[in-house]
Amino acid sequence: MTRFGLISTLLLAPMAALAQPAPPPGTATWFGLHYIDTSTEGAINGVRADETARIAMVEDFIAEDLTGRGFALTPPPAEAVAGILNPVRSNGADTRIARGMGSDYAIAGEVQKVSNLIQSVNLTLRDAETGETVRAGSVEIRGNTDDAFRRGYSYLLRNVIFREERKE
């Protein structure tokens, strides 16, 4: 494959995924969000109570949105995820757990704090039976506030995860 062909494939593959219909509602195992602090602030000051509360708030926000779209969410058993550091990057453990629970999907996300100003938020929706990623996306947000997190995940849910093919 030529360099141009490889670059075109890498750039167009996400667009092809978005051209597919939005995933239909179903049962889902909701793993919540994994928080990754790569800022020097976290290394120096440790865990911040406001950030811990913010992650819980945005997990509830995402769960409410998914439930409103017709998804029936169930958390995984604590013992099933005890050995998993990050469900998004668990080499398929998330979908094996979801499949064992009888769910249609495994849904999990990550928040990476780059600095107090820049956060990267993402969400992944996988087919529990096949392990294939149905939809996934990431958005960079500015600010470390409840409002910034809600706006970031709202955008991600509306414009990436549940985006329908646009009719011209």
Element (H, E) at 89: none
pLDDT above 90 as % of the chain: 75
Would you call 106 helix, strand, or coil by DSSP?
A: strand
Q: If pLDDT is split at 50, 70 and 90, which confidence band does 164 have? A: confident
pLDDT of residue 22: 85
Smallest CA-to-CA distance from 75 within 49, 106, 54 is with 106
What interhelical angle do 49-68 and 146-156 show, nearest 10?
30
Return the pLDDT at 44.
86
What pTM does this model have? 0.85
Q: What is the mean pLDDT of residues 143-160?
A: 95
Question: What is the C-alpha separation between 83 and 130, in angstroms, rounded?
Answer: 22
pLDDT digits (tens, 9 = 90+) for 76-135: 999 999 999 999 999 999 999 999 999 999 999 999 999 989 999 999 999 999 999 999
The model's pLDDT over 23-68, given as tens digits with 9 standing for 90+, comes to: 999 999 999 999 999 998 878 888 899 999 999 999 999 999 999 9
Round to whole Å and give the CA distance between 102 and 161: 22
Taking residues 3-22, what's their average pLDDT?
52
